[in-house]
Amino acid sequence: MVRKRWGVPVPGGRKAVVVTGASGGVGRATALAFAARGDRVALLARGREGLAAAADEVQRAGGEALVVTVDMADAKAVDDAAQQVVDTFGHIDVWVNNAFAGVFAPFTEITPDEFRRVTEVTYLGYVFGTRAALHHMLPRDRGTIVQVGSALAYRGIPLQSAYCGAKHAIQGFNESLRCELLHSGTGVRTTMVQMPALNTPQFDWVLSRMPGRARPVAPVFQPEVAARAIVHAASHGRRREYWVGSSTVATLIANAVVPGVLDRYLARTGFDAQQDEGAHGELGNLWAPADGAHGRDFGAHGRFDEESRPDSAQEWISRNRGRVGTALTVGAGALAARKLTRLARR
C-alpha cells in the first residue's frame, strides 16, 4: 500500500516517527517534513516552549504530534520516552537521532564537566536513543534508525573539539552497529546523514567563549535541505550513508587525500570563519534549554536566512543517484553509438 499525503508518497502508509532535538533547528524542520506526509511524529527535546510550537506546526502541516520532554543524556528517561511513544502510536517505524549540545571555545578553555556534558548529550544521547529504538524495532523485525551526522564526523575543526569528538564517536558506533545488524539478518536498518553548515538557532544559544559571535562556516544551507535528506534516508535505510551539500563532499574528500594540508588551512582560517562581528550573548543551552519554561521558541531557522541556500544540487544527486547513474549510462551509450555511426560511414 502506498498512501499519498500532500502529494508525497508514503510507502506502507502513515509512519510512527521519533525525532530527537525536535524543538528547533534541523529537528524542527525534520518533524515538519514527516508531518507533511501525514506521519505521526513524536517530538523529543528538553525545551517546552519549542516543543509546544513544534507540535502546533506538525498538526497544522497534516501530521499527528506527541510531545515528550526528555534529556537525551538520561538513559532511563530515553527508555521511558520510547515506551510512551509505543503506548501512544503502537510501534516505532523511524527513529531520528539529532539532539546535540556544543561549546565554541579552544579545548583548553572547556572545563571537564562541559566536555563531559557535550559528550553525554551528543554521543551517548545517540547511543541511548538507538538502544531504545532497537528494543522496540527488533521484535517486529522492521524499522529504520537515522543518525544525523556532520562533515565533522570525519574532519575535526578548531573551536569545536567536544562536538567533533562526539560526532566521530557516533560514526564509529554506527558502523559497528550496522555490521552487527547485517550479520543478524534483521530487517532493522541504520543509516547516517552527513550534514554541511546549516542555518539553525544553535549559533545563538550555544555556549561560546569566542570574542566574536558564533556562526557556521560558509556555505550555509537551510535546515529544510537537511530535513529532505533525513526523510529520504528514513525510507531508504539500506544505504550506508548520505552526504549533503557540496561543502561536505569537498571536506571529506580533502580530508581523505590531503589531511595535513587541511590541518594547516583550518589553522589559518577556522577561527575567523566561525565568528561574526559583535559579542556573543550570555545565553547558553548546555545545562538548561534556551526554550525552556522561561525561554522562548526559536523555530527551525537561525539568523542567516539571507545567505543560506534553500537547495543543494549534491543532496538531490545523493537522493537520486540511481537516476543520475542511468542518465549518465544512457548518455554515454548514445555518445558511443554516434561515434560508431560516424566510423561506419567513413
Residues taking part in catalysis: 163
Q: Are 32 and 227 in contact (CB under 8 A)?
A: yes
The one-letter amino acid code at 202 reads: Q
Burial class (CB in 10 A: 0-12, 13-18, 19+), 256: exposed
Cα 138 from Cα 184, distance rounded (Å): 10
Q: Which residues, including other chains, have CB under 8 Å from residue 267's CB and lie 6 or more apart? A: 158
- Do the bridges between strand 103-104 and strand 40-45 make them parallel or antiparallel, or are there none, so unpaired? unpaired
Cα 1 from Cα 20, distance rounded (Å): 28
Cell numbers 550555544 correspond to what residue? 206
From residue 200, give the alpha-carbon distance in Å to each of 54, 83, 203, 308, 341: 15, 29, 7, 10, 54
Q: What are the cell numbers at 264?
A: 594547516
